[in-house]
């Protein structure tokens, strides 16, 4: 599914990033970056290690060391210039509808899987609907159903990834940022996790997946954007990317 | 030697130290703050309870029911403790929690609050120790050799009931989940929409309330005075360390061990040796288990 012109015309973008720079201390990782994500889109961001994919996601959540530039989430400004206090406003951005599934899982190792999923629905609206949301997550990741009462710290890498992604899906979010969902997993498990992400009905929300392996995204997302040394370089609709590959 | 007496003393001390240690442990693991003002919170709560108790004892209904006065005094201690906790949070956590070297700065800031606060208490209430009214009435129960007096029985009951309620609240409510999530991974907590500053106030009010409870219970044995908080702070900190910072079960077990140690040392060697044997015991435990008792309990891998 690609975003048609009328869809673009109808709704304002979910995410609109303008002139974003971000980094840590003296190091500048993101350089003057612009990005627009529309409702219903599934977008892949592809780039090598250390070229700023994770930093872009963290900057949107307000978790980098410093940042400047405009970030509009569903029309509300959540960016601006900030030189310290990483994470101070993250919870407000999350309340505006951001769900970040971070690299390295960032789990609560002592909570059970069920409590962990509940924690993902922390915002008041999601909390009231957490039972139905949990059912939805279990449909995306069926293996979790048997593990509901197990502490997350005892799970395997693949199960942890499912818990971490499931926590993001519990949120009442309009924008899902998924950072390297297949990283560190056996290829088969990584692929099934990706399949689960592709199968999720987005509705009016949007999903951005950062990934090093283009092959995992090809044909499954609406757009693929390359990232190189802190800048977005080149963009292709997925079908075009697939076509070029066949030609070559 | 009266083993029944030693046993009951040990359990009473364990309950009180456990309450303090759980407060310190929760503060450290959720906020990353070593709360040196915990001793000040303790003595301020004692004065709050004393002040309210003095006001309340002349009220018509209270004079007839001594247990009602006890309940009022306990509630006053808990509320004062919670208020002081919130104040410490506003002064020593909110302004500096995301600045560099927060752990050291937080330690110094809370120490400063503790020193200044103690002097303020001294200025306001004078150096003389104040007794709290008897909280749990005057009764005795005996099981064979073991005689439980009202003050000890009441302290044990009150701390067990209130601690159980607190822990249940922490495992069964949204706020409790918020605090536990902060204890395990503050970074991930902000990702699910938990605001560090707001949680800080909840944590400090909760732990301040626990300090207030411990203060009121301990002043059944000791008196309320401006410097009364120092020894409980040291003991609470050492119990929390021994149990493994961040672990509630560990703190409870460590409190029982150290409570028995204190009661045994006091009756066999004399009260002046209590701190010596206590620290020897803690050093021994930390040498064998550097993460404290929680290192044995923890079933989950970290990170």
Q: Could you report the per-residue pLDDT of A56-96, keeping only the tens digit for each? A: 999 999 999 899 999 999 989 998 898 888 888 899 999 99
Task: Find out whether A169 and A144 touch, Cβ atoms under 8 Å.
Answer: no
Closest chain A residue to the Cα of B193, Cα to Cα: A91
Instruction: Quote the percentage of chain B above a pLDDT of 70.
Output: 96
Shortest distance, CA A22 to any CA of chain B (angstroms): 18
| A-contacting residues in B 176-195 (Cβ below 8 Å) | 177-178, 180-181, 184-185, 187-195
Q: What is the CATH number of the domain that holds B278?
A: 1.10.3470
Closest chain B residue to the Cα of A95, Cα to Cα: B193
The H-or-E segment that residue B141 falls in is strand B140-143
Domains belonging to chain A, first-starting first, are 9-97+212-248 (3.40.50.300)
Interface test with A, best of B193, B246, B294 (most A CBs within 10 A): B193
Closest chain B residue to the Cα of A154, Cα to Cα: B300
Bridge-based pairing state of the strands A27-37 and A15-24: antiparallel
Cβ contacts of B194 on chain A, cutoff 8 Å: 91, 122
Determine the pLDDT at residue A217. 86
Q: Each residue of A156-212: pLDDT tens digit? A: 888 999 999 999 999 989 999 999 998 888 888 888 899 999 988 888 899 999 998
Give a yes or no: residue B84 inside a domain: yes
Phi–psi pair at B57, nearest 5 degrees: -70, -15
CB contact under 8 A, A151 and B195: no
Closest chain B residue to the Cα of A160, Cα to Cα: B303
Shortest distance, CA A151 to any CA of chain B (angstroms): 7
Give a yes or no: residue B124 inside a domain: yes
d(CA B165, CA B55): 28
Closest to B205 in 3D by CA, of B72, B80, B110, B95: B80
For range A34-57, the mean pLDDT:
91
Give a yes or no: residue B185 inside a domain: yes
**pLDDT bracket for residue B75 (50, 70, 90):** very high
d(CA A80, CA A97): 18
CB contact under 8 A, A88 and B194: no
Among A3-12, B138-147, B198-207, B264-273, the range with the most confident prediction by mean pLDDT is B198-207
Entry pTM:
0.84
Interface test with A, best of B99, B191, B244, B295 (most A CBs within 10 A): B191
CB contact under 8 A, A119 and B181: yes
Number of domains in chain B: 1
CB contact under 8 A, B177 and A87: no
Cβ contacts of A84 on chain B, cutoff 8 Å: 98-99
Give a yes or no: residue B102 inside a domain: yes
ipTM score of the complex? 0.83
Phi–psi pair at A189, nearest 5 degrees: -65, -45
* Residue B142 CB-half CA count within 13 A: 6
Indicate the residue of B181, B192, B301 with minimum beta-carbon distance to A153. Answer: B301
Domain residues for B60?
A: 3-297
Determine the pLDDT at residue A241. 54
Task: Find out whether B202 and B178 touch, Cβ atoms under 8 Å.
Answer: yes
A125 at B interface, C-beta within 8 A: no
Q: What is the mean pLDDT of chain B?
A: 87
Q: Each residue of A14-23: pLDDT tens digit? A: 999 999 999 9
Cβ contacts of B181 on chain A, cutoff 8 Å: 108, 111, 119, 122
């Amino acid at each position: 599914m690609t975003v048609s012109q009328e869809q673009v015309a109808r709704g304002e973008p979910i995410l609109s990033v303008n002139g974003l720079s971000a980094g840590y201390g003296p190091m500048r990782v993101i350089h003057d970056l612009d990005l627009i994500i529309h409702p219903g889109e599934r977008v892949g961001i592809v780039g090598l290690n250390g070229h700023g994919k994770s930093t872009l996601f963290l900057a949107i959540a307000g978790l980098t060391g410093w940042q400047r530039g405009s970030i509009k989430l569903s029309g509300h400004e959540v960016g601006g210039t900030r030189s310290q206090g990483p994470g101070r406003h993250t919870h407000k951005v999350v309340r505006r509808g951001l769900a970040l599934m971070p690299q390295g899982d960032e789990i609560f190792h002592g909570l059970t899987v069920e409590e962990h999923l509940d924690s993902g629905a922390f915002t008041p609206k999601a909390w009231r609907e957490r039972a139905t949301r949990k059912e939805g997550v279990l449909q995306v990741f069926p293996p979790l159903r048997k593990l509901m009462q197990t502490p997350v710290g005892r799970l395997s890498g693949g199960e942890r990834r499912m818990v971490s992604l499931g926590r993001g899906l519990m949120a009442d979010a309009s924008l899902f940022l998924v950072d390297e969902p297949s990283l560190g997993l056996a290829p088969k498990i990584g692929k099934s996790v990706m399949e689960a992400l592709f199968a999720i009905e987005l509705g009016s929300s949007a999903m951005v997946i950062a990934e090093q392996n283009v092959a995992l995204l090809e044909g499954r997302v609406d757009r693929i954007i390359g990232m190189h040394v802190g800048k977005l370089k080149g963009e292709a609709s997925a079908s075009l990317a697939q076509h070029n590959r066949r030609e070559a | 030697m009266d083993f029944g007496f030693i046993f009951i003393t040990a359990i009473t001390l364990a309950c009180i130290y456990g309450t303090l240690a759980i407060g310190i442990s929760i503060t450290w693991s959720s906020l990353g703050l070593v709360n040196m003002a915990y001793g000040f919170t303790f003595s301020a709560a004692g004065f709050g309870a004393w002040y309210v108790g003095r006001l309340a004892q002349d009220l018509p209904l209270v004079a007839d029911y001594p247990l009602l006065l006890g309940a009022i005094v306990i509630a006053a201690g808990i509320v004062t403790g919670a208020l002081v906790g919130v104040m410490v949070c506003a002064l020593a956590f909110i302004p500096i929690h995301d600045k560099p070297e927060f752990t050291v700065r937080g330690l110094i800031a809370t120490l400063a609050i503790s020193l200044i606060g103690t002097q303020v208490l001294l200025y306001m209430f004078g150096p003389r120790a104040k007794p709290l009214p008897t909280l749990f009435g005057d009764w005795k129960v005996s099981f064979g050799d073991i005689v439980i007096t009202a003050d000890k029985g009441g302290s044990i009951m009150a701390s067990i009931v209130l601690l159980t309620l607190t822990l249940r609240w922490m495992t069964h409510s949204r706020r409790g989940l918020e605090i536990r999530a902060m204890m395990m991974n503050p970074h991930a907590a902000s990702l699910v929409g938990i605001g560090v500053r707001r949680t800080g106030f909840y944590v400090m009010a909760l732990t301040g309330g626990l300090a207030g409870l411990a203060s009121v219970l301990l002043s059944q044995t000791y008196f309320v005075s401006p410097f009364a908080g120092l020894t409980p702070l040291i003991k609470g900190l050492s119990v929390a360390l021994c149990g493994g910072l961040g672990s509630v079960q560990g703190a409870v077990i460590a409190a029982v061990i150290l409570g028995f140690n204190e009661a045994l040392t006091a009756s066999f060697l004399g009260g002046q040796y209590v701190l010596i044997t206590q620290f020897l015991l803690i050093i021994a435990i930390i040498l064998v288990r550097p993460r404290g008792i929680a290192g044995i309990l923890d079933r989950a891998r970290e990170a």
